[in-house]
Amino acid sequence: MDPARSHERVPIRRPGGRAASVVARVHQAARELLTEVGYEAVQLPDVAARAGVNKTTVYRRWPTKSDLVADLLLGLSDHDLPRADTGSLLGDLVAMLKDVAELLRTPLMQAMVRASLDGSIDQEARLSFWAERMHRSSVIIERAVRRGELPESADARSILEHAASPIYFRLLVTGEPVTDHDIGRFAERAIEAAQRA
Interaction of residue 24 with a second copy, rule CB under 8 A: no
Residues in the chain: 197
Interaction of residue 193 with a second copy, rule CB under 8 A: yes
Report d(CA 51, CA 142) in Å as an integer.
Answer: 42
Say if CB 47 and CB 68 are below 8 A apart. yes
Interaction of residue 36 with DNA, rule CB under 7 A: no
Say if CB 65 and CB 77 are below 8 A apart. no
Q: Which stretch binds DNA (CB under 7 A): 39-47, 75-83, 106-114, 140-148?
A: 39-47
Report d(CA 72, CA 66) in Å as an integer.
Answer: 10
Report d(CA 157, CA 186) in Å as an integer.
Answer: 15
State the first-to-last Cα distance of the chain, in angstroms, to the nearest integer.
55
Residue 57, contacted partner among a second copy, DNA, none, CB below 5-8 A by kind: DNA
- Residue of the chain from 106, 117, 147, 180 that contacts a second copy (CB under 8 A): 117
Residue with Cβ nearer a second copy (42 or 47)? 42
Say if CB 101 and CB 171 are below 8 A apart. yes
Amino acid identity of residue 3, one-letter, is P
Q: How far is CA 118 from the centre of its chain?
A: 16
Interaction of residue 59 with DNA, rule CB under 7 A: yes
Interaction of residue 40 with a second copy, rule CB under 8 A: yes
Taking residue 126's Cβ as centre, other Cβ atoms within 10 Å add up to 17
Interaction of residue 3 with DNA, rule CB under 7 A: no
Provide the 8-state DSSP code for 170. I
Interaction of residue 34 with DNA, rule CB under 7 A: no
The CA R_g of the chain, rounded to the nearest whole Å, is 21
Interaction of residue 36 with a second copy, rule CB under 8 A: no
Residue with Cβ nearer DNA (53 or 194)? 53
- The site that binds a second copy (CB under 8 A) totals a number of residues, namely 33
Interaction of residue 60 with DNA, rule CB under 7 A: yes
Residues that bind a second copy (CB under 8 A): 38-40, 64, 66, 110, 113-114, 116-119, 123, 126-127, 130, 161-162, 164-166, 168-170, 172-176, 189, 192-193, 196
Residues that bind DNA (CB under 7 A): 7, 11-19, 22-23, 43-46, 52-57, 59-61, 63-65
